[in-house]
Amino acid sequence: MALTDKQVKHRCLYAAGAAQCRYLEQDPKNWRKFNCLKLLSGRKSAMDKAVRRYLQECTQKKRDPHQGWTAIGDGGNCKGYPYLPRVKQGYDIK
């Protein structure tokens, strides 16, 4: 369940590549499902810290951060979704 395919494709992974949302994580029990971890404060701050380190490293090595495999997007105006791995959610759920 978790986020629907339409949500992930059209919102969370919009433009894909490094621009994808850093708070999106594959479900450990089912790799075809994704969970939003933006509202879990411990996970959010750990992901933000990792992205900051990655961007600093890219600056030091004069590399384009968008060419790597690290998701650096922050969801833009997305407020995030509660961590509900067994419930479908997203913009296409009424």
- DSSP annotation string for 2-26: -B-HHHIIIIITTT-GGGSBTTEEE
pLDDT for 15 equals: 63
C-alpha span between 15 and 84 (Å, rounded) = 25
Per-residue confidence in pLDDT tens, the chain, 94 aa = 688 888 888 878 766 666 789 998 888 888 878 899 999 989 999 999 999 999 999 999 999 988 888 888 887 778 899 998 888 888 877 6
Q: Residue 3: what pLDDT?
A: 86
